Amino acid sequence: MSTEAPTLVSQSKAHGGTQFVYSHESTACGCTMTFAIFVPPQAERRPCPVLWYLSGLTCTHANVMEKGEYRRLAAELGVIIVCPDTSPRGDHVPDEPDNWQFGSGAGFYLDATAAPYAENYRMESYAMEELPALVAAHFPADMDRQSVFGHSMGGHGALTLALKHPERFRSCSAFAPIVSPTMADWSKPALRKYLGEDTAAHRRHDATCLVEDGARFSDFLIDQGTADGFLQEGLKPWLFAEACGKAGVPLTLRMHEGYDHSYYFISTFMDDHLLWHAERLV
């Protein structure tokens, strides 16, 4: 996979660090991909740990960059924040434009195996191999210290990638994650389209199933709002909590009265998550 220098789209000074947006040609996804990266002021003196933020359905790199309110504390803590896009994009990329739960903006952080999606929808390879290699090559990143978090579909991605690659990440957290896409109405059809009808393949992209099937991670933090309109049908955090409890996997699940699924919720608890990860990235 190419580690050619990415193309600068924008840069802005913030809290002594710099918020960048770059684009690059992705071999994994077969298209131009865009990502955001916040580099704290400490990076002028030494490599800094990396915290990956994975966004949710319909989002791009820009949602958390513009509304997540992470830069002040990330600058204080000396943590690089990388925000990939959520899917491949382009006129040649297969899509269902009228379906917000699939295709563009809905890559589910997996490598598709079913036609016609297998050629472009390789978000697990992109997030785990191609983009980390590019970050390591071109930014002052300490790749021995990485953590991951995300929201909704991105929370699903954070949980599953951490469980499948526990040696890569020192910590994992999530805001309102889809903890069991094999059981959620808005994600079951996407798994079938990306992966075919093989239910065993579906289980490998389901955090609850991964724990049930023996995957382990050091500990998790999940924040969930009780007023989230997707809570009962799409998110179901109790399923993951039950699986972690049976397996002895440490999980802190915090239910917050009156909070919904929006970035008002995420920004409220963003500092808690950054501090959680910073403690484990030392």
Which residues does the annotation mark as catalytic? 152, 228, 261
The CA-atom distances, in angstroms, between 12 and each of 16, 47, 64, 235 are 10, 20, 15, 35
Cβ burial 36-67 (10 Å sphere, 16+ → b, else e)? bbbbbebbeeebbbbbbbbbbbebbbebbbee
For the stretch 242-250, contacts whose Cβ atoms lie closer than 8 Å and that sit 24 or more positions apart, written own/partner, are 243/208, 243/211, 243/212, 244/211, 244/220, 246/212, 247/211, 247/212, 247/216, 249/211, 249/216, 249/217, 249/219, 249/220, 250/218, 250/219, 250/220
Under 8 Å CB-to-CB from 205, ≥6 apart: which residues?
A: 108, 109, 110, 156, 160, 181, 191, 195
Phi and psi for 35 in degrees, rounded to 5?
-145, 155
- Three-state DSSP state, 62: helix
